[in-house]
Structure 1
Amino acid sequence: MAEIQLRNVSKRWGSFVGVANFDLTIADEEFLVLLGPSGCGKTTTMRMIAGLEEATEGEIVIDGRVVNDLDPKDRDIAMVFQSYGLYPNMNVYENIRFPLKVRKVPEAEHETRVMKAAAMVELEPFLHRKPAELSGGQRQRVALARAIVREPNVFLMDEPLSNLDAKLRVSTRAQIKNLSHELKVTTIYVTHDQIEAMTLADRVVIMKQGVVQQVGTPVDIYDNPANTFVAGFIGSPAMNLMDGDLKDGTFTGQNVTIQGLSGPNGAVTLGFRAEDAAIADGPAEIEAKVYTMELLGDATMITVRAGGALVSVKAHKEYRAEIGDTVRLSVPAEICHLFDSQDGRRIGAA
């Protein structure tokens, strides 16, 4: 088990900055997710921890030891990649066993450790098969078992579910969550999928262009986004964001008037979650025409154009409206967030 410290870690290639001043302590047994769009620096950060990339500046400390100059094999880390990286000529048993042979673990321990790892990911019936005889989900479970059998101090997982179809992603995600609970090993997980981040993480680090935007629990980040980038990245759908003006507590924008807000007068961006608003029968804060309607099964999503943006609200599952119908949306002041229109920071954030 291990605590990981990243002390002002940066990575540059010439004038290009891949990661800038990443400073964070990851607790022993914590499941930390690095989240952001492609090119934000999350995989580069993971590769520096693994030793596959050299940090330009800063220190990486694992279990109290600075590891910047250690080879990847000496950092006691196991990695699971997007590509399964299995040996096609070996069956499942031998693929799982391979790290034990490389690390010269006594052969008497191999059988017990391989079977234990295989049981954790429900692979016992497939140990005799070659990778070509497995489904994508089964291959990813072999990759997980191969990491588990190492019994490392740290797991690093780089988009391990990206190659799976939607149904397999859900089931494998649940398996990873359960494994994290059972193994209690410090885990760093890279993804661009905010649903994976929200469901798996103890804490989430959201990155943009190499810079950390916010660190917090999934609930903290969802309820109190630090800026408009985070607000627009987290949530399905993302937070509604509308530009307008705030004067004496009243926000006004195209088709929008919301009273009872607290903030400085001037141009602002207002945000609220689709599930916090509601369809209104009478006068309401937003009145606009339906842009689209989507049936979600457990709810109906109504989208209108207001405040110069597309704005969504979740209605009950029986609600129906036609494109072009005028609807009213109730948006109470207490569900709203205000952001600076220039730098995007949340107004009133500590």
Structure 2
Amino acid sequence: MAEIQLRKISKRWGSFVGVDSFDLTIADQEFLVLLGPSGCGKTTTMRMIAGLEDATEGEIWIGDRKVNDLDPKDRDVAMVFQSYGLYPHINVYENIRFPLKVRKADPATHDERVMKAAEMVELTDFLHRKPAELSGGQRQRVALARAIVRKPSVFLMDEPLSNLDAKLRVSTRAQIKNLSHELKVTTVYVTHDQIEAMTLADRVVVMKQGIVQQVGTPTDIYDMPANTFVASFIGSPAMNLMEGVIEGGTFRGKNVEISGLQASDGEVTLGFRAEDAEVADGNGQVNAPLYTIELLGDATMLTVRAGGQLVSVKAHKEFRAEIGDMVSFSVPTDICHLFDTATGARIGAS
């Protein structure tokens, strides 16, 4: 069993707070993603789990062991970094085998374990090559195999796909997803890429400036963001957010009027996703000039300037218009999200 408990852990350097009172239990075999912008504390949290950083406060438990005072080598975790960290002078086979030699595993088991790990990441045809002879995607798969061969209790992955090009990122992401299903090892994965988080995670932790903003399944976070930061960070494109006022159940902003909202009067920020809006024929709730148009293949993305900012709407793939043309669209009230403009916090059910 490799349940991880983070009991109000914090990390401070003098007056700077890197992570503030992080409190979470990661279930055995769960794939947890730490998501947020650079400097939010996600990598620091992972490094505390690994033992590469000491927690200033709080306790870290892996299984039934408190590991705060254990060296990284004694925590039974395997890390995969953004940089591959391969040894250039030895071939792929020996790179994968290296952790077994260091940990003095039975030499009679080495070959079988290396071959099995290499097969899982489709590297059996490259075992004789040196790292310099491999592509970036192949090197990252060697790093994955080197982690797999150890059979650790916990995998820790720190932005492992960020050095790969877009196509390789998609295929390697699929491979990590499949490996997670096969290996059933508790995994903590750090990324700033919300698409990776949405596609890989059982649960996502969204962080900002060292503080956890929301924890939930990808669907929970996408459908019910806890605040405007989460709403603007999750989704491609991000959720549209428009500031305005509600008077008698009607939201009013620049070029915007949406009626039928169940909310108290006052200043609010209204949010909706691009795919939830519906392009209308001149009688919609939002009317504004087209700022830009992007053909996506399966749809057409329209951007208008409304509510004082740029707003994205997804139209059908045959939709055509010119920049500057007036565009009209409606937003069903049952999919609108309302947030407190001052604090950014979600306002009940909208």
For Structure 1 versus Structure 2, the TM-score category normalised by the shorter chain is over 0.9
C-alpha separation in 1, matches of 2:257 and 2:336: 12
C-alpha separation in 2, matches of 1:113 and 1:247: 67
Which residue in 2 is equivalent to 1:247?
A: 247
C-alpha separation in 2, matches of 1:286 and 1:337: 16
C-alpha separation in 2, matches of 1:239 and 1:76: 40
Pairwise CA distance, 1:335: 1.2
Aligned partner letter, 2:286: I
Question: What does 1:149-228 align with in structure 2 at a 5 Å threshold?
Answer: 149-228=149-228
C-alpha separation in 2, matches of 1:349 and 1:168: 40
Which residue in 2 is equivalent to 1:85?
A: 85
Aligned partner letter, 1:52: L
C-alpha separation in 2, matches of 1:134 and 1:42: 30
Which residue in 2 is equivalent to 1:281?
A: 281
Which residue in 2 is equivalent to 1:62?
A: 62
C-alpha separation in 2, matches of 1:90 and 1:82: 20
Q: TM-score scaled by structure 1?
A: 0.99
Which residue in 2 is equivalent to 1:315?
A: 315
Pairwise CA distance, 1:283: 1.2
Pairwise CA distance, 1:330: 1.0
8 Å Cα contact 2:131/2:139 also seen in 1: yes
C-alpha separation in 2, matches of 1:314 and 1:154: 40
Q: What secondary structure is seen at the aligned counterpart in 2 of 1:345? A: coil
Question: What does 1:1-350 align with in structure 2 at a 5 Å threshold?
Answer: 1-348=1-348
C-alpha separation in 2, matches of 1:282 and 1:168: 43
Cα distance per residue 1:285-336 (max 9 Å; x no partner):
1000000000111100011011111111000011011100001011111110
Gaps of 5+ in 2: none
Report how many aligned residue pairs link the two structures. 350
C-alpha separation in 1, matches of 2:129 and 2:310: 50
C-alpha separation in 1, matches of 2:138 and 2:299: 33
8 Å Cα contact 1:226/1:349 also seen in 2: no
Percent of residue pairs bearing the same amino acid type = 81
Q: What secondary structure is seen at the aligned counterpart in 2 of 1:145? A: helix
C-alpha separation in 2, matches of 1:261 and 1:106: 67
C-alpha separation in 2, matches of 1:302 and 1:282: 15
8 Å Cα contact 2:282/2:327 also seen in 1: no
Pairwise CA distance, 1:282: 4.1
Q: Which moved more, 1:104-113 or 1:261-270?
A: 261-270
C-alpha separation in 2, matches of 1:282 and 1:126: 60
C-alpha separation in 2, matches of 1:277 and 1:347: 21
Q: What secondary structure is seen at the aligned counterpart in 1 of 2:95? A: helix
C-alpha separation in 1, matches of 2:5 and 2:261: 40
Aligned partner letter, 2:249: G
Pairwise CA distance, 1:248: 1.5
Q: Give runs of ≥4 in structure 1 deviating > 2 Å.
A: none
Pairwise CA distance, 1:278: 1.3
Gaps of 5+ in 1: none
- Pairwise CA RMSD: 0.9
Cα distance per residue 1:159-184 (max 9 Å; x no partner):
00000000000000000000000000
Q: What secondary structure is seen at the aligned counterpart in 2 of 1:97? A: helix
Pairwise CA distance, 1:349: 6.2
Cα distance per residue 1:246-266 (max 9 Å; x no partner):
111100000000001112211
